[in-house]
Structure 1
Amino acid sequence: MFSYTIDNDLELQLIHPTFAPKIHRLVSAQREYLSQWLLWPPHCTKEEHFSAFIEQSLHDYATQKSMVCSIFYQGEFVGNISFNSVSFSLKKAEIGYWLSQEKQGLGIMSRAVNAMLEIAFVKMELAVVTIAAATENRNSRRVAERLGFHLQGTLPHCENFNGRLVDHAIYSIKRDDWLNASQ
């Protein structure tokens, strides 16, 4: 099973069927918070929903379409980060993520996204990585900006959160820019 140790406190692990109960517990406890910026929490109410998601995610990983990892902070499951899509022909990927409300502000997501950039640019030899964040989601946007992503523009009406239409800020970072900033 793929795992990536970021530091003594933080590790990414390829999503695994045994994680379904952990994900279900965290999402159940923070459904209202997570539903501000994610479409799926109101609809994923049973452990079986997460088991099905994990099964599909592992299939997509095997076919190199995506890669979903769980984030563990000090041994505790705290969220997920993923390449929502990967295109080897275009040499690009899109990162998506979510984090427990209680673990915000500890630098967890910035370190996790930076680890995913290393995987994308060094191990997978991709050329560009993008992040799409709701324009009002300042925390998510700050992660992208802190890591050197460039705002490419805004796309209107990208998601509908129960009648609330959300615009997306689209960020990207190129391999050479990330490598130069990492040195």
Structure 2
Amino acid sequence: MFTYQLSDKLELRLLDVQDAERLFELTDGSRSYLREWLPWVDYSKTVEDSKEFIKATRQGFANNKSLTTAIVYQNEIVGVAGFNELNWSNKVAYIGYWLGEGYQGKGIMTTVAKGLTSYAFDYYKMNKVEITAAEFNKRSRSIPERLGFVEEGKLRQREWLYDHYVDHVIYGMLAEEWGRE
């Protein structure tokens, strides 16, 4: 099973079907908060929906097409992050993430995105890591900005959010630019 220790309090680990109840509880408890920027929230209505999501992420991992992990902070699942897609032909990893509402402002997601970026370059030998975020989602956009990703442009009407389209800003980091501390 995949586990990636980021600090003494923070790790990423592959989601397991046994995590479905906690994942649903976290989603449900942050529903209105998450719904502002994530189009899948209304489709996650039961623990069974979370189980199906986890099974799909494990299949993506088994097929070496994605890596979706639980963010475990102080031994509790607080969100999800990983590579929504691993493009082996072009050597690009696409990071996606979300965090439960009560866990914001602790530096968790910055540490997670930094760890995933290093992992993409060091382990997967990717050439590029990309992160996209809705144009007005300031919290999500602050993560790649804080890590020195380059803003590469805007994707117009990239995502349908329930009743309207939102533009996304795309950020990129090349392996040769990534400074390791």
Q: Distance in 1 between matches of 2:84 and 2:90?
A: 15
C-alpha separation between the residues in 1 aligned to 2:106 and 2:78?
12
What is residue 49 of structure 2 aligned with on the other side?
49
In the TM superposition, residue 4 of structure 1 has moved relative to its aligned partner by 0.7
Cα distance per residue 1:42-82 (max 9 Å; x no partner) = 11110111111111111111111100000011111100001
Distance 2:38 2:123 in 1: 29
Matched residue, 2:180:
182
Q: Counterpart in 1 of 2:128?
A: 128
1:89 Cα shift? 1.6
Opposite residue 182 of structure 1, the aligned amino acid is: R
How far 1:164 sits from its partner (Å)?
2.1
Runs of 4+ more than 6 Å apart: none
One-letter code aligned to 2:180:
S
Q: How far off its partner does 1:3 sit?
A: 0.4
The 2-side partners of 1:101 and 1:129 are apart by: 26
Give, in whole Å, the separation in 2 of the partners of 1:59 and 1:113. Answer: 22
Provide the aligned length of Structure 1 versus Structure 2: 181
Q: Structure 1: give runs of 5+ residues left out of the alignment.
A: none
CA distance in 1, matches of 2:66, 2:170: 19
- The Cα shift of 1:165 comes to 1.5
Question: How do 1:139-150 and structure 2 match up within 5 A?
Answer: 139-150=139-150
- Residues 1:34 and 2:34 aligned together: yes
Q: Which amino acid counterpart does residue 32 of structure 2 have in structure 1?
A: E
CA offsets, 1:100-144, max 9 Å, x none?
A: 111111110000011101110001100000011000000110101
Equivalent AA in structure 2 for residue 101 of structure 1:
E
TM-score, structure 2 length as denominator? Answer: 0.98
| 2:55 match: secondary structure | helix
Scaled by the length of structure 1, the TM-score of the pair is 0.97
Q: What amino acid is the match of 2:64?
A: Q
Deviation of 1:182 after TM superposition, in Å, equals 1.7
Root-mean-square deviation (CA, aligned residues, Å) is: 0.8
